[in-house]
Amino acid sequence: MINILVTGGTGFIGSHTCVELLEKGYEVVVLDNLCNSKESAIDRIKKITGKNLKFYKADLLDIEAVDKVFSENKIDAVIHFAGLKAVGESVEKPLEYYENNLGGTFNLIKTMKKYNVNKFVFSSSATVYGMDNNVPYTEDMPTSATNPYGYTKVMIEQILKDITVADKKLSIVALRYFNPIGAHESGLIGEDPHGIPNNLVPYVAQVALGRLDALRIFGNDYDTPDGTGIRDYIHVTDLAVGHLAALEYADKNVGFQPINLGTGKGTSVLEVVKAYEKACGREIKFNITERRAGDIAVSYAETTLAKKLLGWEAKRDIDKMCADSWNFTINNTEGM
Ligand code: NAD
Ligand code: UFG
């Protein structure tokens, strides 16, 4: 297994995964339509690794463009990050989300079949655990969703499972990410959201920079030790390394396998604020506001299966995540 196609490879998690792949000696081909990222990510990946990678600016919804990538490269396995991911936007534009995330995946797996590519790693999400399961989340729990984005992940997982039943050559790993944050140590790549961030850490970073006045903490009356929501934050580099382990697993096994990628440790919003203050040496102002619709109190992973099947576990703690986020933020005040 040498040549890896990375869809969404200029995005946040994809770019970090390209770095880890290149550093381990894989050849990388990136396909991205740049709807939520910039081509500069490719130059930065090259700068970090000193290695070359191929880039196709192409849309997964354009099956001829996808075919061109497979016809011009001998692809051994695919890591599929490309998709739209904003929960709130998915409620406003459900059709766009279903069309892009499902349609893009259909074109990709149809083309894989045509070129006899059988190894596939998919970006799923802890969102598939819905609102009704108890923590820690285990991979055998029933899946559900509360918004169109979440449904795209639930539906794609089901489709991937069905196709592995019909085609015994297929090997598919669905990685269920918890809350990826942080950035590459170099400060060259990181999360570069457009406009006002929806997620906690990118928002806190903008407050630290002085671009936003204060964080709104969405509720301090949850049934948690300090009343604020608890999540399983995971360093994006740890997450990226998990994809290499998943590729090796897919190389040796067939069938469909969902696997959590988290630390197994929960951190509250107030604890994140404190860790970020330590990282940046500045005060993070905040106000307590109403709960955000659709939020749950606590989410964290059971990580046993990842250890057992992939031999992988997260290494970096919340202080390192905040330090690397701040290093990226302060070095890229005009974006990537
Ligand atoms: P991102 O937006 O930074 O990266 C996704 C990339 O896909 C972008 O570069 C975008 O331009 C590209 N893309 C989208 N639609 C495309 C299409 N039709 N054709 C070609 N390219 C397309 O997001 P990310 O945070 O790196 O997330 C990567 C994957 O992980 C997504 O599938 C996301 O749903 C999933 N995920 C992310 C998180 C998170 O909190 N970041 C959590 C769980 C799961
Ligand atoms: N929060 C605030 N203020 C903010 C933003 C967030 O208090 O401005 C709180 C939230 O209420 C929550 C925590 O910070 O308690 C984390 O919120 P995020 O928006 O950063 O992350 P979520 O856990 O809500 O959702 C993320 C992704 C989803 C994904 C889910 C599970 O955005 O796409 O993790 O992987 F499905």
What's the average pLDDT block by block, 10 residues per block, for the chain (336 residues)? 95 98 98 97 98 98 98 98 97 98 98 98 98 97 97 98 98 98 98 91 97 98 98 99 98 98 98 98 98 96 98 98 98 93
> What's the CATH fold of domain 3-181+233-263?
Rossmann fold (3.40.50)
- Ligand 1 centre from 23 Cα, in Å? 22
pTM above 0.95, yes or no: yes
Residues with Cβ within 8 Å of residue 309, at least 6 apart in sequence: 249, 257, 259
Judge whether 299 and 137 are in contact, CB under 8 Å: yes
| Residue 97 near ligand 1, beta carbon < 6 Å | no
Residue 193 confidence (pLDDT)? 79
Residue 32 confidence (pLDDT)? 98
**The ligand 1 atom nearest the CA atom of 10:** 9
- Ligand 2 centre from 255 Cα, in Å? 31
Residue 250 confidence (pLDDT)? 98
Q: Where are the domains of the chain?
A: 3-181+233-263
Residue 94 confidence (pLDDT)? 98
Q: Is 51 helix (H, G, I), strand (E, B) or coil?
A: coil
Nearest-ligand number for the alpha carbon of 126 = 2
Residue 194 confidence (pLDDT)? 83
Q: How many helices (H) and strands (E) does the chain have?
A: 12, 13
Q: What are the Cα distances from residue 97, in Å, to 17, 31, 88, 130, 313?
A: 24, 19, 11, 18, 31
Judge whether 190 and 181 are in contact, CB under 8 Å: no
- Ligand 2 centre from 14 Cα, in Å? 20
Residue 97: active-site member: no
Instruction: For CA atoms 23, 71, 43, 184, give the dihedral sign.
Output: negative
Nearest-ligand number for the alpha carbon of 88 = 2
**The ligand 1 atom nearest the CA atom of 192:** 3
Q: Where are the beta strands (DSSP E) in 97-185?
A: 119-125, 171-177, 179-181
Q: What are the Cα distances from residue 53, in Å, to 43, 122, 236, 250?
A: 9, 21, 20, 22
Q: Is 73 helix (H, G, I), strand (E, B) or coil?
A: coil
